Structure 1
Amino acid sequence: MPSPIELSEDTNITEGLGLDSVAVMDFVMEIEDALDISIPLDRIAEVKTIGDLIATAHDLKGVA
């Protein structure tokens, strides 16, 4: 069993989580479903870290 990964807002989604591009898209789709949002592809391309994903989700949900 792999060791748990400690996440922070600075964690890089691909390197820190070990996800390839297909897995990143699956991960983002799970987030979209969970939060009932749709992240446009151009915005997904800008998301590099967990913090970027949080900020994008907050922006799309209208959370300040």
Structure 2
Amino acid sequence: MQWNSNQIDILAKYFADLSKVIVISTVIGFFLPIGAALVTAQTFIIGAVSAFVCLFISIKLLK
């Protein structure tokens, strides 16, 4: 299956948005006060790596 440039652009935007959601939900939650959210160091690391991977895929698709 060959994808056209419009489909690749939409997929790249999806991965960029997914990266933002992961950062907001895990990485930023790690820095909130203890009572506000419970995010462990393991969740922080997995979230940061996942966000980076999604952002990397997005950038590669746009090139």
Q: Same fold (TM over 0.5)?
A: no
TM bucket (normalised to shorter chain) is 0.3 to 0.5
With normalisation by structure 1, the TM-score equals 0.33
Relative contact order, higher structure (CA 8 A, sep 6+): 2
Per residue, is there more helix in 1 or in 2? 2
